[in-house]
Amino acid sequence: MEDSLEQIGNGLESPEQVKNLWSKTYNTDGKPDWSHIFPYYDDAVVFHDSIQRVEGIDEFKALCNRLTDRCKELKMNIITVVMAEKEVFLQWEMTMMFKKFPSSTLYGTTKLSLNGNGKIIHQRDYYDLWGDIFDNIPWMHHRYRRFMRKKFG
């Protein structure tokens, strides 16, 4: 299904539409462009992940722009999308390359909650930030994993 401006008013309608939209976010140059999905977010959106919580579309756009600025390259592979009533779940792999560090792949899930118009009112991202990043830093990998085994079994 191609997404025209008229369809944006209807909000998110199917798992295929979500996968198509999110897959277009990350281009071949590795720099993301979220502009085509921002219209699917409610102005009062709340975004929450392991690092931060922001409220409102302007703050969410600023967060996306900061991530783009920090990364030399950013790619995402959408593995699974499931939609049930007003909830959408995505399973993904995001590969980030910062300017002075090797690339790191984060494995995570996203829960999108939709309002009555099908627009995203809440987004919660779940991932193991430190484990996935430390796994790709040679001198940190073994220390971090040893610490985790010792403290958490």
Is residue 48 in some structural domain? Answer: yes
The single-letter code of the amino acid at 25 is T
Q: Closest Cα to residue 113, out of 21, 37, 57, 41?
A: 41
The parts of the chain modelled with pLDDT lower than 70 are 1-9, 27-30, 101
Domain count along the chain? 1
Q: Domain of 95?
A: 15-152
Is residue 3 in some structural domain? Answer: no
Structure tokens at 108: 């995570």
The pLDDT, as a whole number, for residue 8 is: 45
Is residue 120 in some structural domain? Answer: yes
Q: What is the CATH number of the domain that holds 142?
A: 3.10.450.50
Q: Which residue has the tokens 């792949």?
A: 105
- pLDDT tens for 3-36 read 333 344 579 999 999 999 988 877 656 677 888 8
